[in-house]
Amino acid sequence: MEEHNWIKTILTPLSWIYGSVTSVRNRLYDQHIFLSQKPEQFTISIGNLTVGGTGKTPMTEYLVRMLQPDFHLAILSRGYGRKTKGFLLAGSQSTAEDIGDEPLQYFQKYGKKVAVAVCEKRVEGAKQLADLRPDNNLLLLDDAFQHRAIKQDIKILLNDYNRPFYNDLPFPAGRLRENRNGALRADAIVVTKSPTDLPESDRKKIIEKIRKYSNPKAPVFFSSIRYAQPVDYSGSEVTLKNVKLVAGIANPQTFITHLSQHFNVIEEIIFPDHYNYTSADLERLIKYLKNDTFVVTTEKDMVKLKPLVEKSGLATQFAYIPIAVDFGKDTGPFSEWLKNRLP
């Protein structure tokens, strides 16, 4: 811990410089020196101040399920980790290397009803989506809070309960993409991964800390992660006992905690976020794998591992645990707040 604090102290001046640069950039957008463009679609941005792991993917999926009955939706993502460039519309032949793991997950779950596309330049991506899918009247921008070149009608900022932005610093001493007062741009803040039994007194304390940096008119909601029944890679629900835990996500601790509380974890193997699995990795995962043991991954890892696993014939010994956002007592208030702002 002392070594960590020493390194953080050394890097803090660099964080001040980085934070100042991002603040100047934001000011130039605020003063319309840098221009933002309004796309044809009504846009909702889901983003964060922290690098990775705040729950953008399950939040985007929550909005899809909530809004799809009333709108023609499209999801536009950067497609982080893909090996392609420019605009791509997801299709039945798309892979994680083509469009990235999270967009592929969206497409596999909702592609029959929701257009999914990737593009580094969101303005260009929104324009091409409007040309190709003119009926899509609502655009979800995945991880675009800092992408100010495109105007966003509703900006939802996610704050991880376990790693709150108000206790963090900009890169490199911390994990913030910009200064804490970037929260001022948010129309609402969602505290993700909250305990389901969070006391009201703790909620109020968290809101007070957020309010130091956010717009006082922006509501603060609390959500938690709900884990579903495990599913093997062939699509069948399974009962788990002994598991080999595998994760390649930004912040795997919540996943690790859940599996440790409910199953006998015999091994943990952690890969970097957005990791692209290889045949050699698969060999490592199945080495000494017993018949009574499952390799259990996140859903995001499943979309990349599944093609390799199916070739090996072990799809029934690999499983993942679907997750969903649960707003608990904030379900009604969040829905009412959002729907009052939609076109």
Annotated binding site for ATP: which residue ranges?
Answer: 50-57
Residue stretches of the annotated binding site: 50-57
Cβ neighbours of residue 266 closer than 8 Å, sequence gap 6 or more: 242, 243, 244, 293
Q: How many CB atoms lie within 10 A of CB 155?
A: 19
Choose among 295, 329, 321, 299: nearest CA to 309. Answer: 295
Q: In sequence order, which residues have a C-beta less than 8 Å from that of residue 290 and are 6 or more positions away?
A: 242
Give, in order, the Cα–Cα distances in Å from 158 to each of 109, 297, 335: 22, 24, 16
**One-letter amino acid for residue 280 of the chain:** A
Type of residue found at 105:
Q
Q: 131 CB contacts (<8 Å, ≥6 apart)?
A: none
Give counts: helices (H), strands (E), the chain.
Answer: 10, 15
Q: How far apart are CA 94 and CA 265, in angstroms?
A: 33
49, 96, 80: which is closest to 278 by C-alpha?
A: 96
Please give the structure tokens belonging to residue 167: 């206790």
Two structure tokens written together for 83: 């090996």
